[in-house]
Amino acid sequence: MEFSKVFISAALLGFLGLLLRLYNALVAKPERLRSALRKQGVSGPKPTLLLGNILEIKKARDASAKATSECDGAPVYHNCGSFLLPFFDKWRKQFGEIFMFSLGNTQILYVTQPDMVREITTCTSLDLGKPTYQAKERGSLLGQGILTSNGAIWAHQRKILAPELYMEKVKGMVSLVQESTITMVNSWKKIIEAEGGIADIKIDQHMRSFSGDVISRACFGSNFSKGEEIFKRLRSLQEAASKRVLATGVPGMRHLPTKSNRETWALEKEIKSLILQVVKERTEAGYEKDLLQMVLEGAKNSDLSQDAIDRFIVDNCKNIYLAGYETTAVSATWCLMLLAANPEWQERIRTEVVEICKGQIPNADMVRKMKQLTMAINESLRLYPPVAVVSREALKDMKFGNVKIPQGVNVWTLVTTLHTDPEIWGPDSYKFNPDRFANGITGACKLPHLYMPFGVGPRVCLGQNLAVVELKILISLILANFSFCISPNYKHSPALNLVIEPGHGVNLLVKKL
């Protein structure tokens, strides 16, 4: 009898303790964070219990999709941010350039105030790190690059994949880019010949095949076929993760065995197994001069645990996927769409390519001289940046501008808004006008630090240099061999699948020169 009373009392205390913990996590802590921001004059839409502003966001997105029908052909005005994230436009008009909102019990500070953005993007402190919800979902590929919230591992990752070391690898990849581009160009020639001189080509998969071939060989060397398998599954993981972005902050959702979660868990397990199998084969086979070897050597010389080393290797392979594969493919697709819709720019760049290359395959020295092409790529990345949002979390209490940000608050910088704000870029900010970059990025707008297609500052995307080299060689070779225009089958419908990509692909009518 006495034992039963003790057991019941212990169970009751445990239950009450659990309730208190839940109350703190779901109600008290989120309100405490919001209150700290409200006291500083930061306001925002009123959240609901557990869901925050998720329902309002979903409603706004659904209404935007209904109101904005798909456009036949390329539009004159490019404002994908308003199409994809209409609620931010509404809240920005209502609450200003700094406001707060909630995804479940995750509290987010939205910032597009220029001076504060500069402070955030140039912050080198490890106290501003990858959001905790992303760290908990390592396979989700959310955010820009794979950055761990563990300061020691993050610092080690930056040391191993430092930009100057990465650039040395990029120089050695030019021949791979050339070979993969020639393969793709020859495949287009065969398609066009089979179609009688002009072909309607859906270019998305061709761009992915090209980019995947380059990065698989660059990352996995002689085992590139296994790399292609890994990247295919990472693409599937990206699609699965994009379906559950809005549920990110809903308590417990990532643990429930929903169809999306089960699919994600299975893919994460398979990807990890494939990557570590390649690592084992590499260890047995010996040294190769590629990106994987660079990661392995860094991990070997660290004092990390084996579990941390495995996570480091797997996360960096995911980083390389997003930075060197998906980013390049989607950026090339958008750039070719814009050149197809603007034949005068297509001809200007083609003339430049012919003059510089003189019938030769473009190399690194040649593409550096292609000013017109650089301007067009910069403009394309301005209108269609690969990533819509740069997300960070205050891992300790921090201060940016006049705002003290409590530990646990996420900070979001909306790239699409900063890239198209008429106050920054002028009255033609929604139009394709590469001439704005005639004097480089610093001369393109009033506040050049707000141009961040690959991120900026210490957390800039490590794959930026490789992506730009790939884009220049690919587009210059395509222009040297083909003319193209928008196909009647093209439907303009940007979609946010972690990266901004064409919802229905890009169809071009391509003709061999």
Kind and range of the H or E run holding 445: none
**Buried/exposed 132-143: b ≥16 CB within 10 Å, e otherwise:** ebbbebbbbbbb
- Amino acid identity, residue 178? Q
Which residues are paired to 107 by β-bridges?
102
As a whole number of Å, the CA-based R_g of the chain is 24
Residues in the chain: 513
Structural contact between residues 330 and 221, judged by C-beta atoms closer than 8 angstroms: no
- Amino acid identity, residue 123? C
| Element counts in the chain: helices (H) and strands (E) | 22, 14
Q: Which two tokens stand for residue 413?
A: 């910088």
What's the farthest any 2 CA atoms get from each other in the chain? 96
Strands 106-111 and 410-414: parallel
Distance CA 14, CA 22 (A): 12
**Buried/exposed 10-33: b ≥16 CB within 10 Å, e otherwise:** eeeeeeeeeeeeeeeebeeebeeb
Does 461 show up as a binding residue in the annotation? yes
Which residues are paired to 390 by β-bridges?
413
Structural contact between residues 157 and 148, judged by C-beta atoms closer than 8 angstroms: yes
- Amino acid identity, residue 235? R
Q: Which two tokens stand for residue 313?
A: 């290797």
* Helix, coil or strand: residue 246: coil
Annotated binding-site ranges for heme: 461
Annotated binding-site ranges: 461
